Chain A
Amino acid sequence: MKECKIGVYVCNCGTNIAKVVNVEEVVESLGKMDGVVVARSYKYMCSNPGQEMIVQDIKNLGLNRVVVAACSPRMHEPTFRKALENAGINPYFLEMANIREQCSWVHDDAIEATEKARVLTSAAVRRVKYHEPLEKRSVPMCPATLVLGGGVAGLAAALELGDAGQQVYLVERENRLGGNVGRVDLTAPYLDSARDLLTEFITRANQNPKITVMIQSKLVELGGYVGNFQARVEDAQGDIIELAVGSVVVCTGYKEFDASRIKSLAYGWLPNVITSFELEGMIRKGKILTKEGNVPQYVALIHCVGSRSLEYHPYCSRVCCMTALKYAHEIKSAIPKSYVSDVYIDMHAFGKGCEDFYRRSTEAKTMFLMYEKGHPPRIREAGPDDDCGMFIWVKEQLSGEEIEIPADLVVLMVGMEPREDSEAVAHLVNISRDKHGWFIESHPKLDPVATTTDGVFIAGACSSPKDIPDTVAQARAAAARILAKIAKGEIWADAVYAEVDEDLCSGCRVCNELCPYTAVEYDKVKKRSHVIYAMCKACGACVAACPSGAIKARHFTDQQIFAQIEGVLPWHSNHVS
């Protein structure tokens, strides 16, 4: 092995690391390690001057290995690899020590945290000595895209791609495009017609020759990898259609909360307790009536049904507050003599134009009643002598009183929840879900439409409750990410994959069966197995299983991991030579 000249760079991350970890102590200790030529600290290693420091050291001091002790490698490994590349050395000669997410942010004791940071960094130094130069693989990028879900998100993504002249397969389970927005009359806060918004999108999608719309169809299998996926879609006739696509956008949306789960709201038991979507249906038909066919005099809107509750969903569903205000407007204009009460916890009016809409709503004759989280309203039937059909008990916060308000029609503002098939979809496209069942983004702030599976994107309410503007923005963002990949024409796949040393391979074929991607192939003539690199996803299952030690996990070799184990157990050297 060529002599290792290692540079160690410890990041303060402003005060994120430095306020707990004594960075200078780490630098001093690491500077004494075998093979370390230079050890430095900097306030933000990921900044341009921070990266430039590394580049200059590589050039001036002839460094051939770099250790950066900073945030999680999941955050900035690509950044620093790029810096190594810019300085003219192989990007895989980098190793990161995670001293922020897994040290300074989880520990308070400065002495222990400093020691842990020192140990993690020294383990990285030991590991990096065994790093090998790796070359990335270039594979062609298939320009076609599979869009799952024909709601407003799927339509926006498909149009952005189709308008750019790229082939799109828009796959929708139901027999119509439009998704949940297609069940809505007007949108908040500008009271535009949802139908107008959708008609424009749907017409353009149907007329665009680059967009193949497949309704009553579903994805049944997805194989391959970024740039080269093979999708199998079952169409309305039950036929399987094979599609070659380079990218996938998941826009499978949400479903509404089942209000019958909350017994005190009497949904499904009292006929005039309805959900927001049922009211939309009435409004679209032009008649707001009770089940008995009467015009309701008292209408109540109840917020946060299933949302912001420890018992059901702790999160806010984001669109219901403004939708409730919209209903107040719509009910008042349809039945001018009606009394509308709006029963809420807090009014969430964060979107553009929403606070103004709230202000205008308070000026109209709507009665606002604030209830406490954990003390939801209760609905009961009224007696024969009352002039209303029901009463709603509310522990009203602003007056501090427990009151009952009359109602002929109660509208439950049901929140959003993941669809029942979200687990199946996540498995099909190999992405993760959070504890509620929403799809997880690659990074919640910096990479909100990508996922941990390269080439698979998520947009709209399938990742968390969203309104239409946010949904459309995400869908177009996902399309932009895909168009950038298409413009490059090729994908530089990670150089990390498994490799068989055919001299060591005994041809036992244990690895063949283990590979979930059938990437290990047996050569009957040579009587040896080998890995088809393009299909390998680098899990390393075959490596750990090989009885001959013939398979190497590039960048996760036994030697590299052994060195790291020795490094994290610092008194190792006292015992073993």
Chain B
Amino acid sequence: MAFEPRIVGFLCNWCSYTGADLAGTSRVKYPFNVRIIRVMCSARIDPTFILKALSDGADGVLVCGCHPGDCHYVEGNYKAMRRYALLKKTLRSLGVEEDRVRLEWVSASEGVRFGEVIADMTEKIRKLGPNRIKAELILDKAER
């Protein structure tokens, strides 16, 4: 069977989840590969959520929040951005490819763009192939 990437998307309630809903109401079509988990703010996204998703077999993890300056909670997206930068550094050292974990700003009016982000990410991960670090992380987890 052809490889179908599994992408877990963590979306903030106010901008990105609403934008994903707008993609639906606008009947924008995008690949089925993403599964969305709603959080109140991108600042709630603990780096362990992303590690957990990768260790549980996600081929990609998408983090979406409001555009800089537009956060419902004033500056939560900036906090998410800083955490993301640190996490990316850690992931690099673990051998996780750049394109697997992605941060995108999607506003409540960007239904079309949300669809484009999913389509683009799905294609990039399809090219990368399955998450190879999965088994290693599971092993590491078992040892702990």
With contacts A432-B107, A516-B73 taken as known, whether A564 is within 8 angstroms of B28 at the C-beta atoms is: no
Within B85-144, the residues touching A (CB, 8 Å) are: 107-110, 115, 134, 138, 141
Q: What's the least CB distance linking B120 to chain A, in Å?
A: 15
A576 touches which one: B21, B79, B115, B138 (CB < 8 A)?
A: B138
Tell whether, in the assembled complex, residue B56 and residue A569 are in contact, meaning their CB atoms are under 8 Å apart. yes
Q: Answer yes or no: A568 CB below 8 A from chain B CBs.
A: yes
Within B23-44, the residues touching A (CB, 8 Å) are: 23-25, 27-30, 32, 35-41, 43-44
Within A544-570, the residues touching B (CB, 8 Å) are: 544-545, 553, 556, 558, 561-562, 564-566, 568-569
Q: Answer yes or no: A236 CB below 8 A from chain B CBs.
A: no
With contacts A106-B28, A107-B32 taken as known, whether A540 is within 8 angstroms of B107 at the C-beta atoms is: no
Chain B residues, CB < 8 A from A571: 57
1/0 per residue, CB under 8 A from A, across B71-89: the answer is: 0111110010001000000
Q: What's the least CB distance linking B134 to chain A, in Å?
A: 8
Chain B residues, CB < 8 A from A516: 73-76
A568 touches which one: B8, B24, B75, B83 (CB < 8 A)?
A: B8
Chain A residues, CB < 8 A from B37: 123, 561, 564-565, 568
Task: Provide the bound-state CA to CA distance between A73 and B40, in Å.
Answer: 13
Q: What's the least CB distance linking A324 to chain B, in Å?
A: 30
In the complex, residue of chain A having the shortest beta-carbon distance to the beta carbon of B46: A544
A575 touches which one: B24, B75, B83, B138 (CB < 8 A)?
A: B138
Within B1-54, the residues touching A (CB, 8 Å) are: 6, 8, 13-15, 17-18, 20-21, 23-25, 27-30, 32, 35-41, 43-49, 52-53
Chain A residues, CB < 8 A from B57: 569, 571-572, 575
Interface-located stretch among A95-103, A134-142, A288-296, A344-352: A95-103
In the complex, residue of chain B having the shortest beta-carbon distance to the beta carbon of A115: B32
Task: Provide the bound-state CA to CA distance between A119 and B53, in Å.
Answer: 15
Q: Answer yes or no: B58 CB below 8 A from chain A CBs.
A: yes
Tell whether, in the assembled complex, residue A432 and residue B76 are in contact, meaning their CB atoms are under 8 Å apart. no
Tell whether, in the assembled complex, residue B36 and residue A541 are in contact, meaning their CB atoms are under 8 Å apart. no
| Chain A interface, number of residues (Cβ within 8 angstroms) | 54
Chain A residues, CB < 8 A from B76: 516, 539, 541
In the complex, residue of chain A having the shortest beta-carbon distance to the beta carbon of B47: A544
B35 touches which one: A107, A119, A453, A562 (CB < 8 A)?
A: A119
1/0 per residue, CB under 8 A from B, across A101-115: the answer is: 111011111001101
Tell whether, in the assembled complex, residue A544 and residue B21 are in contact, meaning their CB atoms are under 8 Å apart. no
Tell whether, in the assembled complex, residue A452 and residue B14 are in contact, meaning their CB atoms are under 8 Å apart. yes
Interface centre among A74, A496, A514, A565 (most CB of B within 10 A): A565
Tell whether, in the assembled complex, residue B25 and residue A566 are in contact, meaning their CB atoms are under 8 Å apart. no
User: Total A-B residue pairs with C-beta atoms closer than 8 Å?
Assistant: 149
Q: Answer yes or no: A380 CB below 8 A from chain B CBs.
A: no
Q: What's the least CB distance linking B62 to chain A, in Å?
A: 12
Q: Answer yes or no: A116 CB below 8 A from chain B CBs.
A: yes
Which bucket holds chain B's interface residue count?
35 or more
Q: Answer yes or no: A461 CB below 8 A from chain B CBs.
A: no
Chain A residues, CB < 8 A from B24: 72, 100-102, 105-106
In the complex, residue of chain B having the shortest beta-carbon distance to the beta carbon of A430: B72
Chain B residues, CB < 8 A from A576: 55-56, 138, 141
Chain A residues, CB < 8 A from B107: 432, 435
Q: Answer yes or no: A537 CB below 8 A from chain B CBs.
A: yes
Q: What's the least CB distance linking B83 to chain A, in Å?
A: 7
Tell whether, in the assembled complex, residue A540 and residue B40 are in contact, meaning their CB atoms are under 8 Å apart. yes
Tell whether, in the assembled complex, residue B72 and residue A452 are in contact, meaning their CB atoms are under 8 Å apart. yes
Tell whether, in the assembled complex, residue B36 and residue A98 are in contact, meaning their CB atoms are under 8 Å apart. yes
Tell whether, in the assembled complex, residue A73 and residue B83 are in contact, meaning their CB atoms are under 8 Å apart. no
B39 touches which one: A100, A119, A514, A561 (CB < 8 A)?
A: A561
Chain A residues, CB < 8 A from B55: 576
Q: Answer yes or no: A538 CB below 8 A from chain B CBs.
A: yes
1/0 per residue, CB under 8 A from B, across A489-519: the answer is: 0000000100000000000000000101000
Task: Provide the bound-state CA to CA distance between A118 and B6, in Å.
Answer: 15
Chain A residues, CB < 8 A from B25: 101, 105
Chain A residues, CB < 8 A from B44: 539-541, 543-544, 553, 556
1/0 per residue, CB under 8 A from B, across A174-213: the answer is: 0000000000000000000000000000000000000000
Q: What's the least CB distance linking B6 to chain A, in Å?
A: 6
Tell whether, in the assembled complex, residue B56 and residue A116 are in contact, meaning their CB atoms are under 8 Å apart. no
Task: Provide the bound-state CA to CA distance between A543 and B115, in Å.
Answer: 30
B29 touches which one: A106, A540, A568, A572 (CB < 8 A)?
A: A106
Tell whether, in the assembled complex, residue A74 and residue B30 are in contact, meaning their CB atoms are under 8 Å apart. no
Q: What's the least CB distance linking A335 to chain B, in Å?
A: 45
Q: What's the least CB distance linking A17 to chain B, in Å?
A: 11
Task: Provide the bound-state CA to CA distance between A316 and B40, in Å.
Answer: 34
Task: Provide the bound-state CA to CA distance between A184 and B115, in Å.
Answer: 43
Q: Answer yes or no: A392 CB below 8 A from chain B CBs.
A: no
Q: Answer yes or no: A434 CB below 8 A from chain B CBs.
A: yes
Task: Provide the bound-state CA to CA distance between A540 and B37, in Å.
Answer: 15
Task: Provide the bound-state CA to CA distance between A161 and B115, in Å.
Answer: 43
Tell whether, in the assembled complex, residue A101 and residue B20 are in contact, meaning their CB atoms are under 8 Å apart. yes
Q: What's the least CB distance linking B8 to chain A, in Å?
A: 6
Tell whether, in the assembled complex, residue B46 and residue A558 are in contact, meaning their CB atoms are under 8 Å apart. yes
Q: A105-B27, A540-B41 are in contact. List 4 more A-B contacts (CB 8 A).
A: A430-B74, A432-B70, A541-B44, A561-B37
- A-B CB contact pairs (8 Å), 11 listed: A106-B23, A123-B37, A432-B107, A432-B108, A514-B79, A541-B79, A544-B43, A556-B44, A558-B46, A569-B58, A576-B56
Which A positions have Cβ atoms within 8 angstroms of B? Answer: 72-74, 98, 100-103, 105-109, 112-113, 115-116, 119-120, 123, 427, 430, 432-435, 440, 452-453, 496, 514, 516, 537-541, 543-545, 553, 556, 558, 561-562, 564-566, 568-569, 571-572, 575-576
